[in-house]
Amino acid sequence: MLQIIRDKIQPFLSKVRFCEFETENMQKFHRIGLIPNHIFEHFQKTINPNFKDKKIQNQNQNQNQNQNQNQNQNQNQNKNQNLIQNQNLNQIQNQNQNQIQIQIQIQNQNQNQNQNQNQDLIQMFTPRFRFPESAIIRKDHKHFIKTLQRWIADDEFFLSMKLGYSGKRDGFCGQIFHQKCDSKGKTLILMKTADNFIFGGWTSVGWIVKNTPNFIADSKAFLFSLQSGIDPDRIPQKFKIRKKKIKWAIYYEPSHGPHFGGDVGIYSRSGNPTHDFDIFFSRFGFSYQTPKNIEKGDSLNYYLAGSSDQWKIDELEAFFI
């Protein structure tokens, strides 16, 4: 059978080499099984001696193409994986940044809360050393306020005190002074003269209504000088009650204003509590200690108010709880 086919095909081989039509027919015959593989290969070798090499080349090319495709696929997969990884990294970075921002916001909120709490604590435990409505102690007199706070050493008093009496506001007479200030306990007195001397006194018991006239004992009472009208460099000074004169610390009399022992006082000459004050005296040495390095005499008497009995009151204030 094979011989018959060969014999039939042989005359046409030379033509088939150059005829694409015959080649196509041979391919068709081979595909449908009329021509065996070895005959078809022989035919291919006849028309193309390099058929096997080409076949191998084609196979190699196909393999290379497949490899290239695989490589491309792998590269694409790698790219996709890299893209996915980058996206994941970006997401993680964004999440981390968001978390960091949230943490920073929380920290800032905590810091603000802590600051507010600290401020609240400071306000709660730090006294407001102020003189409400005072015409004598101004806001720029912070050193006076701190000095008085240190001398009195009573934070509760400074937190709660109020301006209970003002000569300019209420009137300069004994009756009004005692209506406002009697039986108030701890009392701080401030005086300012027309010559800008600022001084005063502190009593821990206040003016107690008793049989009058009468002295009142107070072991914690003291006088003080804050400002000199003639010596701007004078340092504020405190003058304690003498131990032997404690029972004469302050004096109560209806026509008098604040009266500290026999050292400082203001009152009405007429003795009428409704009359304005017209006597002002300052004489150191009776009940209270005197300034150091100052001898007795006019210099001592002039120390607080600039004069022993010729000074004029500009303002008189009383602070109590």
Residue 195 forms part of a structural domain: yes
Tell me what pLDDT residue 152 has. 93
pLDDT tens by residue, 165-213: 999 999 999 999 999 999 999 999 999 999 999 999 999 999 988 767 8
Compute the distance between CA of residue 64 and CA of residue 69 in angstroms, rounded to an integer: 8
Tell me what pLDDT residue 224 has. 96
CA 308 to chain centre: 52
pLDDT tens by residue, 47-72: 655 545 555 556 666 676 777 777 77
Angle at 197 between CA 195 and CA 199, to 5 degrees: 150
Same domain, 27 and 165: no
Tell me what pLDDT residue 61 has. 67
Residue 128 forms part of a structural domain: no
pTM: 0.61
Cβ–Cβ under 8 Å, residues 127 and 149: yes
Residue 294 forms part of a structural domain: yes
Angle at 259 between CA 256 and CA 261, to 5 degrees: 135
Same domain, 43 and 159: no
Residue range(s) defining the domain that contains residue 191: 142-320
Residue 119 forms part of a structural domain: no
Please state the rounded mean pLDDT for residues 229-245: 92
Predicted confidence band of residue 87 (pLDDT cuts 50, 70, 90): confident
Cβ–Cβ under 8 Å, residues 259 and 318: no
Same domain, 147 and 268: yes
Residue 115 forms part of a structural domain: no
Predicted confidence band of residue 247 (pLDDT cuts 50, 70, 90): very high
Cβ–Cβ under 8 Å, residues 266 and 239: no
In order, the DSSP letters of 241-276 are BPGGGGGGSEEE-TTEEEEETTTEEEE-TT--TTSB
Residue 105 forms part of a structural domain: no
Residue 173 forms part of a structural domain: yes
Report the domain count for the chain.
2
Same domain, 152 and 296: yes
Residue 66 forms part of a structural domain: no
